[in-house]
Amino acid sequence: MTVLKNIFFKTHYIGMLITPYLWILFPNIILIYPIIILSWKINDNKCILSQLEEKLFGEIFLGPGKKNFVPLKHRIILYINFLLCLFFYFKE
């Protein structure tokens, strides 16, 4: 179970870092951004993946005792990248 937990945590962490910027290489990823943003809005700014991690492993990738709340700065990063992606996607 520890191997699965580490894979899940590392994938979530790496995904959190690169997902906002993937549109630069893969413009069609524009479809994923509204899904992520809507999931936050519907779920009171909580990350569904972190909630799943907590249910499965008793903690989230940020460490024990951390909450599932997505910080405002992380949300703003995705919002800005989504807007930039929209601009460049429809500009072409």
pLDDT along the chain (92 residues), means of 10: 90 95 92 96 94 91 84 96 92 74
Give me the pLDDT at residue 92, please.
67
pTM: 0.86
Q: Please give the distance of CA 33 from its chain centroid, rounded to a whole number.
A: 9
Domains held by the chain: number: 1
Which amino acid is located at 87 in the chain?
A: F
- Round to the nearest angstrom and report the end-to-end CA distance of the chain: 46
Give me the pLDDT at residue 23, please.
94
Q: Quick check: 72 and 16 in contact, CB under 8 A?
A: no
Task: Report the distance separating Cα 38 and Cα 63, nearest Å.
Answer: 25
Structural domain harbouring 76: 2-91
